[in-house]
Structure 1
Amino acid sequence: MLLKVHHTAAHCGGDIQITGSKSETNRLLILQALFDSITLKNVSNSDDAQVMQKALSSSDEVVDIHHAGTAMRFLTAYFSIQEGRDTLLTGSARMQERPMAILVEALQELGAQITFTHNEGYPPLQIKGKALQRDEVTLKANVSSQYISALMMMGAKLDNGLTVHLDGKITSVPYINMTLALLHQLDIEATFEGQKIVIKPGRNSAVAREITVESDWSSASYFYSIVALSRKRNFNTPHTITIASYKESSLQGDAALREIYKQLGVVSSFAGDKLTLSLNQDFELPETITLDLANSPDIAQTIAVSCLGLGVGCHLTGLHTLKIKETDRLEALREEITKLGGSIMVTNQDLTLLPQKAAVNENITIATYHDHRMAMAFAPLALQVPLLIEDAGVVSKSYPDFWTDLEVLGFGQEIIG
């Protein structure tokens, strides 16, 4: 679906309800499957969460998780301890290009029986579930925190728990802390100190409990971008966007948005579980900003596009994990920002956008590369110029209501093909 997006309305404000965090939901779905005493509220309505739910409820030998990278990683560990069950875990063509060797080798070190059926180191995976007796493993920590989280959750179900030794610089620490906090909510003893994680057996987790999933902060990033970019529209009256349901003390690393977008003139204020975003009218934009996004790489695309539209330069580091996402996100950003007239350079782990005064090019067709975040990160630019978004339906992976919510804020949309 090719979607033309523009914004000619006199307003750009409103109230938006965002469903639960995809990151929290997928962890809690695994924990619910391991410890069936949990009831969940406000779960994500994303494709990824639905894929996870379907996989966990399936008794089929072949489980296809399509594009869902989180599901691939978490389910690899989950199925490895389902005694007596044989599972072929597979996914889309892109998923079969995403490396899994580090996690699989760690599970094999614990005694898991997993084989690569096509290309060594990549899905599909043949998994023969069994009881794992070993309780200590070493894992490279600089590739994906989801490998670590997968082991942590699985470890809570092992008879002797699990100790994970982390080798090297640890990536996306807030996501590890999120998993740790969710384990603590189930009264599972778990510690993360230095380069070592210790998970005790979850013997006290049989108590029935209800957990409400906080709304997704990465989804909130697109509204931060809209408010920041509204500075260039000169609306007659300032407009605010209120989004729910959020917590001032969040488990999600992407809550760093509050401090990051303060540097671009966006004010965040809480009232209960509602977060209101407004523009600091007297704010003077910086010429450039420098950010280390090692703990929140999923918001890099949004920030880069915000800076492009504001004419602000940015140097974003800590982005090495973006090479193995739904697409090579760094190269995808370079391609699309260049089409819009930006001057951008990328390496395997960082991005540099030069400040510029010229307006972005209009009526450019943005390729999304089967990546939901490419579509949503570029859409706020339609506040300034009309854009065409290829494969606009890809947003359903994490935020199915995205285009509907943009209509609330005055964004016009037209399906071209």
Structure 2
Amino acid sequence: MDLHLQKSKVKSQKSKATITGSKSETNRLLLLQALYPNISIENTSISDDSEVMSRALNSQLTTHNSQLIDVHHAGTAMRFLTAYFAQKENCEIILTGSSRMKERPIKVLVDALQQLGADIEYLENTGFPPIKIKGKKLTQNKVSLPANVSSQYISALLLIAPKLENGLILTLEGDITSMPYIKMTLEILHEIGIKTSFLGNKITVCHAELVSASQFTIESDWSSASYWYSIVALSEIGFQVTLSSYKENSLQGDSALVNIYQDFGVETVFNYNNSITISKERIHNSQLTTHNSQLNNSPDIAQTIAVTCFGLGIACDLYGLHTLKIKETDRLEALKTELSKLGAQVCVTNNSLHLEASTKFLENQKINTYQDHRMAMAFAPMALKVPIIIQEAEVVSKSYPTFWHDLKNFGFEITSV
């Protein structure tokens, strides 16, 4: 499904939107709920990724036949489920995914799990899905892995750690990527009563056979909020939108939006009812010729920021983006290609993106989304500047299924082509 977004204007100066729970928090809690059934969860994500996680964790498994579980494009589910099924005794599963998923590396995690005693084998290409897992009791409790790869590998190990009979001592080697996601995992473990420590490069998680009954209300997804920050930034002064439900002391690294978007004239107010109001208070800083962001801790908002800067006619230098090359697509090359279609001058390295300032936008360009939800949503706000076509627009269901419906409610003119 391709969508044509006419050059649009938001229909109301004051609007509201509801965004469901964080995909990151939801998937962590779904796995912990599978380990400890007395945990209850509210405001779960309605994303495809979380649906995949939920279905897989509720599968009726048997040792008689290998059960096939297809996670499609869900990278978080692939990593978390690999760890979960490795420690689940008396099950045998084949974990696979889309053609792109079969290109996304998983060797670092599999090596770590094998250090703990896991029985995992590759079925096609070494280091990549699909993999066959024979669940068993994992008795080893010490493992090390590179820290400059996806933090999902680290979180996958931490989430199963309390169920390992001797807990886990995890040593991280090198510089740590996406620290907020690791801290999110540890904080959630702490909230259900698991004892943990993080000293230097060593994380310790204690064994816990049982935990006290807990109820969690998941904070809404800051990554999804980023597209509204971009819409506000590209709108006229005075436009504001209220989003629910968000916390000022968020566990999510993408809450860095609050500070980053001040450069673009966007202010954030945290309301008493756990909502936020974001508003365009001024034009962006006239002294700002180039926006700089170090995004090691929040790489998922890089696409949004790059498009915002392009729409505002600001240059940008974004750093700390090496993990974007192994996402749903190589997001750095994808950004370069699609922004160039609109008239941008972009260059990328293995971990950075550099955009030159431009005030000319080419109309009705077809933006390839590469089966990547964030490409679709990051480029959509450009419709406030120029008509644009988003290809394979249904991909937004991966994290934000109601995205196009919400945009229409705000006044965006959207038709199928």
Same-fold status (TM-score > 0.5): yes
Of the three residues 208, 219, 223, the one matched with 1:218 is 223
Deviations 1:199-256 (A, max 9, x none): 0012451x2121000000000000000011114xxx7xx2210000000110000000
Of the three residues 330, 337, 350, the one matched with 1:328 is 330
> Which amino acid in structure 2 is aligned with residue 415 of structure 1?
S
> Which amino acid in structure 2 is aligned with residue 225 of structure 1?
S
Q: Secondary structure at the match of 2:404?
A: helix
> Which amino acid in structure 2 is aligned with residue 182 of structure 1?
I
Q: Decide which moves more: 190-199 or 292-301.
A: 190-199
What is the rounded CA distance, in whole Å, between the counterparts of 1:297 and 1:289 in structure 2?
15
CA contact (8 A) 2:366 2:388 kept: yes
Q: Which residue is equivalent to 2:392?
A: 391
> Which amino acid in structure 2 is aligned with residue 309 of structure 1?
G
CA contact (8 A) 2:181 2:252 kept: yes
Structure 1 residue 9: deviation in Å? 5.2
Deviations 1:32-60 (A, max 9, x none): 00111101000000000000001111125
Q: Secondary structure at the match of 1:219?
A: helix
Structure 1 residue 281: deviation in Å? 2.0
Deviations 1:64-98 (A, max 9, x none): 11110000000000000111111111111110110
Q: Percent identity, aligned pairs only? A: 55
Of the three residues 344, 354, 357, the one matched with 2:356 is 354
CA RMSD of aligned residues (A): 1.1
Deviations 1:287-317 (A, max 9, x none): 1111110100000000000000001111001
Change (3 A) 1:258 1:78: same
> Which amino acid in structure 2 is aligned with residue 346 of structure 1?
V
What is the rounded CA distance, in whole Å, between the counterparts of 2:222 and 2:16 in structure 1?
16
Q: Which residue is equivalent to 1:111?
A: 117
CA contact (8 A) 1:228 1:265 kept: yes
What is the rounded CA distance, in whole Å, between the counterparts of 1:377 and 1:12 in structure 2?
22
CA contact (8 A) 2:88 2:137 kept: yes
CA contact (8 A) 2:11 2:410 kept: no
Is 1:50 aligned with 2:51? yes
Q: Which residue is equivalent to 1:289?
A: 291
Q: Secondary structure at the match of 1:156?
A: helix
Q: Secondary structure at the match of 2:374?
A: helix
What is the rounded CA distance, in whole Å, between the counterparts of 1:214 and 1:322 in structure 2?
24
For structure 1, list consecutive stretches of 5 or more residues without a partner in the other structure.
Answer: none
What is the rounded CA distance, in whole Å, between the counterparts of 1:15 and 1:321 in structure 2?
33
TM-score (norm 1): 0.96
CA contact (8 A) 1:142 1:171 kept: yes
The list of structure 1 runs, each at least 4 consecutive aligned residues, that deviate by more than 6 angstroms after superposition, is: none
Change (3 A) 1:379 1:132: same
Structure 1 residue 192: deviation in Å? 1.6
For structure 2, list consecutive stretches of 5 or more residues without a partner in the other structure.
Answer: 62-66
> Which amino acid in structure 1 is aligned with residue 267 of structure 2?
V
Structure 1 residue 283: deviation in Å? 4.7
TM-score (norm 2): 0.96
CA contact (8 A) 1:77 1:150 kept: yes
CA contact (8 A) 1:2 1:389 kept: yes
Is 1:227 aligned with 2:232? yes
> Which amino acid in structure 1 is aligned with residue 92 of structure 2?
D
What does residue range 165-180 of structure 1 map to in structure 2 within 5 Å? 165-180=171-186
Deviations 1:381-416 (A, max 9, x none): 101111110001000000001011111211111011
